[in-house]
Structure 1
């Protein structure tokens, strides 16, 4: 890192969009979130402890969780993540997120970009020493992520197999999203002392179960099954780490949509 005192010149630039939030985050913040997301936020909150350092991935399921109260009753939360989804800056102002107990970058909100807040919040954050903007090579370095004790990675999934394999990128060969830093944060969180990884997804999409026996051919694997820790849907929490394949299937079927549980149970009994 270079301290500003080591620089000779600054070049100021004011763009037409100054003060605007990142389009994806700001746009989604204005929409009324689906009711099931409130349930997911509640379950994720149960897995977060006072003093944890969290990462929140970009996506339609993760981004609304802060506004839905996921962290409202927590204390001394640290933040080490790529972006700031709606509600994060508000929690910094309230002191809920303060980084006081972070193992590294102590007392800092460590991100690569700011977004998801009002113009006033963004201006407040822009000149605030609590916020530390770093390059992605540092932020997503697995050893850096793991250096924070009690690191909790919270990320989206498009689909999950009954063995715990996660895809956050494609359905078959249809590319839906990029992985970003998801894999690095999952690995780093699991290496962290007291760390956890939480994968979130709605149980269904357009009438189909997102929890499936097997992916379609060509589906990209984002998280291998052995690295999947907690999985949360609107129906509860599944804990997969150190479980057998049969136990993993049972955990995931329990949080699948009720309409699909019988079919998944039958499929699982034939495979596991």
Structure 2
């Protein structure tokens, strides 16, 4: 392991022309390294970068002059790359990312990883993300680690050892943070219907956004909830402090909150620092069907751009523009369906564009992210449509009932025409 001076970092001796660089996504972005890459991009002979989600201002469309950007989707700041037409999207389930990287299906010549200062054993915590970065470290020709003094020492199933790091750059700078989304009255209305599907002792998987924030906020009166989720936000801290989360009744990892990424603020990071009740795992565990299906009352909560009258879910694009990702939605939807007492919730507002556009639609305008055969319950501010065991005509009626009243007549006509054509 060779130490490099952050102020004199020259990537030309590390990165070769044609290389693909992969780094810790979301709040785990190693900013010193990624900023240096953007600044030195013209001197590197043409490289590619594979992106997960992004919440910093590091990568901008103009950087595509010397860098080819690939990624899982247009989550966070990556949306501006998508809008500018410089992000080549790979549509895949999150659970596939780790084997894709490990097998070289997704190239990784250079891995940038952010780590904490070493613990008493000399090992480095991955800090804020453990998803597919572990696979990237194993696959890469070169591993460059930014040891940031402000990264929490979060317990990891697989911490990094000095022998896995080729170059180490030390820094002491604020981490990327994502503040909780503001909760509106609309979000509260959606949450009210979701609460009926989340019992005490449930184990939760929750995404990011204002609707999940509302749902989590309204769970403070629950007891003995568990967490097994691809990511955690600040709301988990609220529920632990309220006595709602204990993880006591999880059949797998009792007493431990399991996650693959921390996406929040300093409050979350400090809470997880050396916290023995939290453990970071790679995707092969956080999204593992055989693990998840052993959990009773596993509740998956995700969102969508739109849902059609048969129950198909589009969580990726709107108006012809890629705005989301396949993500882990299908992984968790299927796991919740296999869990004893589990439920899969897709929650979304009934309209977009100030009510002008219905998000319950006759036909999807974008791709099918989650198939209608996998969908369980759809929730809007007007109610919950439980689609299990329902025929196509029954699904259409149930979904029209939770659409915005201003759009129900149009949807009803579309359903009638579809029914006649099917006959």
Shorter-normalised TM range? 0.7 to 0.9
Residues 221-246 of structure 1, C-alpha deviations (whole Å, 9 max, x = no match): 11100111111101111100110001
The residue correspondences of 1:164-183 to structure 2 (distance < 5 A) are 164-171=311-318, 173-183=320-330
The residue number in structure 2 matching 1:22 is: 177
The residue number in structure 1 matching 2:245 is: 97
TM-score for the superposition, normalised by structure 2 = 0.57
The residue correspondences of 1:53-72 to structure 2 (distance < 5 A) are 53-67=203-217, 69=218, 71-72=219-220
The residue number in structure 1 matching 2:102 is: none
**For the residues of structure 2 that align with 1:13 and 1:22, how far apart are their CA atoms?**
15
Greater alpha carbon shift after TM alignment, 87-96 vs 71-80:
87-96
- Secondary structure in 2 matching 1:225: coil
**For the residues of structure 2 that align with 1:136 and 1:59, how far apart are their CA atoms?**
21
Give the aligned length. 255
TM-score for the superposition, normalised by structure 1 = 0.88
The alpha carbon displacement at 1:92 in A equals: 1.4
Contact 1:203/1:255, CA 8 A, preserved across alignment = yes
The residue number in structure 2 matching 1:10 is: 123
Larger-Rg structure = 2
Structure 1 residues 87, 113: closer, same or farther in 2, change over 3 A?
same
The residue number in structure 2 matching 1:86 is: 234
The alpha carbon displacement at 1:61 in A equals: 3.2
Instruction: Could you tell me which runs of 5 or more consecutive residues in structure 1 were left unpaired when the two chains were aligned.
Output: 1-6
Residues 40-80 of structure 1, C-alpha deviations (whole Å, 9 max, x = no match): 1111111100111010023443244323x2x1221110111
The residue number in structure 2 matching 1:212 is: 361
- Secondary structure in 2 matching 1:66: helix
The alpha carbon displacement at 1:142 in A equals: 1.5
**For the residues of structure 1 that align with 2:177 and 2:300, how far apart are their CA atoms?**
21
The residue number in structure 1 matching 2:278 is: 131
Aligned CA-pair RMSD = 1.9
1:203 equivalent to 2:316? Answer no
Greater alpha carbon shift after TM alignment, 47-56 vs 119-128:
119-128
**For the residues of structure 2 that align with 1:263 and 1:37, how far apart are their CA atoms?**
25
Instruction: Could you tell me which runs of 5 or more consecutive residues in structure 2 were left unpaired when the two chains were aligned.
Output: 1-119, 125-146, 150-170
Q: Pick from 214, 234, 244: which aligns with 2:391?
A: 244
1:148 equivalent to 2:303? Answer no
Structure 1 residues 244, 97: closer, same or farther in 2, change over 3 A?
same
The alpha carbon displacement at 1:174 in A equals: 2.0
- Secondary structure in 2 matching 1:90: helix
Contact 2:314/2:370, CA 8 A, preserved across alignment = yes
The alpha carbon displacement at 1:149 in A equals: 1.2
